[in-house]
Amino acid sequence: MSLSYYEVYITSLRAFTGMGFPYGADEDAAYMVSWLELNKLNGVKMLAKTFQNFDNQYEGKINFNEINATTIDIKNISLLMKGPGLFDYCEAQLQKSNNISFSLTNCIDPYYLLPLMFKLSKKINFCRALWNEKEKINVICETQKNLIQFGTVPNLKIKNKDQVELFFSNENKKINNFKDITNKITLESMQNNLESALSPENNDWQIISKIASRTFVPESVESRIKGAGGGDAND
């Protein structure tokens, strides 16, 4: 299957609209899925496997009164809903301080942080996310201006499963010493990917397309009689 970025974005957008995401939130979520798919990180597959967790269950509001200085509890709610508001909060905090850091707890889908981090990298100098994956592998992601790279690092401990350590800075920071860099994304690499086809798995794409079809206007008796583009030109 070969698709353009635009096809993936528009179909994802319709799918989120069909799942009850409000205007604006559907665009944010579609961007996150499409960005991952564009950069060969299986955005469509992730959505196809998890959409039932938030289908007609949108819960994107963040209660800032519950945020303490060091921890934000995501409560096992997808970052497709919580992520954009969280990063708006971080950007606002960086107007007051050059450096902020905190832990996300009960974060079930940390890879959705990547498109948000890349987007924010256009406005701030540095961002880092660290979490623990299966088999106790420490996954680290760091961004600088229009650059994001992620991989693994040794000897960095995360206390709990589903916990993410986040750090944001307006200052120039040195990229960490990665044990293994698994991916590096730049504006140039993204442009190269835009010029080639995206290839999600067919079964995953059919799931997303079916959800997107909820937004189509039901066919009426009159429209069937007149046909597509029907009607008298003199009407």
CA 132 – CA 167 distance, rounded (Å): 16
Name the pTM for this structure.
0.87
Residue 138 within a domain = yes
Mean pLDDT by 10 residues, the chain (235 residues): 93 96 96 97 96 92 72 92 92 91 91 94 90 74 86 71 89 74 89 92 96 79 48 40
Residue 230 within a domain = no
Q: What is the pLDDT of residue 229?
A: 45
Residue 229 within a domain = no
Residue with tokens 């120039």: 172
Residue 231 within a domain = no
Q: What is the pLDDT of residue 209?
A: 96
Residue 232 within a domain = no
CA 112 – CA 90 distance, rounded (Å): 16
Q: What is the pLDDT of residue 71?
A: 86
Structural domain of residue 124, as residue ranges?
A: 5-213
Report the residue count for the chain: 235
How many structural domains comprise the chain? 1
CA 192 – CA 211 distance, rounded (Å): 29
Sign of CA dihedral 100, 102, 104, 110: positive
Residue 170 within a domain = yes
